């Protein structure tokens, strides 16, 4: 107040010091409830989250408030990913993980935005594979474990850079064997070139069979018994025989029907496989016990994106896609605790910038300088000089009896 006038001066927006001591985040909701809102909203719809909070936490919050809290933290998580990418590109630290054999699968799936258009969500999965004895099948099969995901809506070039975060966390550079199983899309090949150009490239077996089936359905008929028998034989042949044998047989079938109305589509399908001959050498891959299917990334679309973002009637604002995907990735990779700590730290730093600046200005203890050889020599001379002045003190006790003569103490 200004004296007796009763006027209160405007001091602007301030925060109570106790807020910082308690670690409170933005808004009137305490941090524990904000984490619960963010975590639940990355799992289910906002309507379902509202019901769960009212039932379990006895907290009544509108769907709009829950959306605002979730997206605010999602944007922070998205920002942290970009900062990590910049750090990795600038410093190139050595990853700590030491996988023996890794498989990488990459693909894209579509999600609808509020404008009615569709956007591609690019996803890459990383897993470690090993041979495993299947008691039911009585044979050795290749089993992939410890699967993790990374998804974003970006251009192919930007996605390759952003995926550095998960690539580094999984220790892709340290893998003794890296296998890339995918379809033949050009952007995926560029993605592999960016991260691991020496990877063993495998065309997904089911994807290759689709091109084989395209030829058979066009010539033999889609629902005929001749096609079913032919396709069963070709599927087994592609998986067990050298790939050139299958390609030759497809060309032979095509030349027997050069006047077919779908001849152009048939030729495109055969040439697609022929260009990728080293990637469809499945007998060699089986001998090396290398995965030949990209089911990991197909299920990754469902796990990361579709379960939350493609429910009935859902459409997303474009600016909300990557924030939600960042939260979904942390949830599906079981890294939620560490991710949430980073989000909290970032939010508090932005909310209490003065306190954060004070912490940065705290003087760090000065490390002692290393002792040089010159210092050692100087200290040795000093010790010798001091020692010379006090040599055999029992012969001269003037320091005890200053008034006595030296002769009294002579031997």
pLDDT digits (tens, 9 = 90+) for 35-70: 999 999 999 999 999 999 999 888 888 999 999 999
Which pLDDT value is given to residue 371? 58
In a domain, 240, yes or no: yes
pTM of this structure: 0.79
Residue 164 and residue 302 in one domain: yes
Which of helix, strand or coil describes residue 321? helix
Residue 21 and residue 39 in one domain: yes
The Cα 19–Cα 25 span in angstroms is 8
CB 128 within 8 A of CB 100: yes
The Cα 119–Cα 122 span in angstroms is 10
Which pLDDT value is given to residue 377? 72
**Run of H or E including 271:** helix 263-275
In a domain, 372, yes or no: no
Which pLDDT value is given to residue 394? 46
Residue 175 and residue 58 in one domain: no
Which pLDDT value is given to residue 132? 86
The Cα 389–Cα 25 span in angstroms is 69
Which pLDDT value is given to residue 133? 87
CB 341 within 8 A of CB 138: no
Helices then strands, counting H and E runs in the chain, come out as: 18, 5
* Strand blocks (E) in 61-169: 101-112, 118-134, 139-152
Residue 188 and residue 304 in one domain: yes
CA dihedral 236, 242, 244, 245 (to 10 degrees): -50
CB 305 within 8 A of CB 328: yes
Residue 132 and residue 168 in one domain: yes
Which pLDDT value is given to residue 397? 47
In a domain, 349, yes or no: yes
Cα-based distances in Å from 357 to 7, 361, 362:
33, 6, 9
In a domain, 386, yes or no: no
Which pLDDT value is given to residue 30? 84
In a domain, 248, yes or no: yes
Residue 307 and residue 170 in one domain: yes
Could you give the count of Cα atoms lying within 13 Å of 226 in the half-sphere of its Cβ? 7
> How is residue 47 written in tokens?
């309507």
CB 53 within 8 A of CB 35: no
Residue 197 and residue 105 in one domain: yes
Number of structural domains in the chain:
3
- Which has the closest alpha carbon to 73: 31, 15, 13, 112? 31
CB 179 within 8 A of CB 102: yes
Residue 132 and residue 213 in one domain: no
Residue 237 and residue 303 in one domain: no
Which pLDDT value is given to residue 411? 41
Where does residue 319 fall: left (phi above 0), alpha (psi -120 to 50 degrees), or beta otherwise?
A: alpha
In a domain, 387, yes or no: no
Residue 105 and residue 137 in one domain: yes
CB within 8 Å of 252: residues ≥ 6 apart: none
The Cα 7–Cα 199 span in angstroms is 73
Please state whether beta strands 177-182 and 101-112 pair in parallel, antiparallel, or not at all (unpaired). parallel
> How is residue 193 written in tokens?
């070139």
In a domain, 365, yes or no: no
In a domain, 112, yes or no: yes
CB 73 within 8 A of CB 34: yes
Residue 83 and residue 127 in one domain: no
State which residues form the domain around 232.
205-292
Residue 152 and residue 194 in one domain: yes
Which pLDDT value is given to residue 58? 84
Which pLDDT value is given to residue 369? 57
Q: pLDDT below 70 — which residues of the chain?
A: 1-27, 354-373, 376, 379, 382-411
């Amino acid at each position: 107040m200004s004296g007796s006038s009763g006027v209160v001066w405007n001091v602007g927006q301030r925060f109570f010091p106790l807020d910082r001591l308690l670690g409170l985040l933005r808004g009137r909701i305490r941090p524990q409830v904000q984490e619960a809102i963010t975590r639940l909203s990355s799992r289910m719809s906002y309507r379902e989250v509202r019901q769960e909070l009212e039932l379990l936490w006895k907290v009544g919050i509108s769907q709009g408030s829950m959306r605002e809290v979730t997206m605010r933290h999602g944007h922070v998580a998205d920002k942290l990913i970009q900062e990590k990418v910049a750090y990795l590109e600038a410093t190139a630290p050595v990853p700590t993980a030491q996988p023996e054999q890794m498989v990488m699968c990459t693909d894209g799936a579509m999600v609808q935005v509020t404008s009615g258009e569709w956007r591609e969500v690019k996803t890459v999965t990383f897993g470690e594979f090993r041979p495993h004895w299947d008691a039911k099948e009585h044979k050795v099969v290749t089993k992939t474990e410890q699967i993790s995901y990374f998804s974003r809506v970006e251009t192919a070039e930007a996605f390759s850079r952003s995926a550095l975060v998960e690539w580094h966390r999984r220790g892709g550079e340290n893998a003794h064997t890296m296998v890339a199983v995918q379809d033949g899309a050009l952007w995926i090949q560029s993605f592999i070139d960016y991260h691991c150009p020496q990877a063993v490239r495998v065309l997904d077996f089911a994807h290759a069979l689709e091109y084989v089936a395209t030829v058979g359905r066009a010539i033999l008929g889609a629902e005929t018994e001749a096609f079913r028998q032919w396709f069963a034989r070709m599927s087994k042949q592609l998986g067990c025989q050298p790939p050139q044998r299958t390609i030759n047989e497809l060309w032979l079938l095509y030349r027997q029907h050069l006047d077919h109305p779908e001849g152009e589509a048939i030729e495109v399908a055969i040439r697609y496989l022929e260009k990728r001959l080293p990637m469809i050498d499945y007998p060699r891959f089986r001998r090396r016990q290398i995965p030949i299917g990209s089911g990991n990334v197909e299920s990754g679309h469902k796990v990361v994106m579709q379960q939350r973002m493609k429910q009935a009637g859902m459409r997303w604002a474009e600016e909300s896609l990557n924030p939600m995907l960042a939260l979904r990735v942390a949830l599906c990779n079981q890294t939620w605790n560490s991710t949430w700590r980073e989000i909290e730290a970032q939010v508090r730093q932005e909310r209490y910038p003065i306190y954060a600046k004070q912490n940065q200005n705290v003087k760090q203890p000065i490390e002692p300088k290393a002792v040089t050889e010159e210092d050692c020599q100087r200290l040795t001379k000093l010790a010798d000089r001091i020692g010379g002045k006090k040599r055999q003190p029992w012969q001269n006790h003037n320091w005890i009896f200053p008034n006595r003569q030296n002769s009294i103490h002579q031997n």
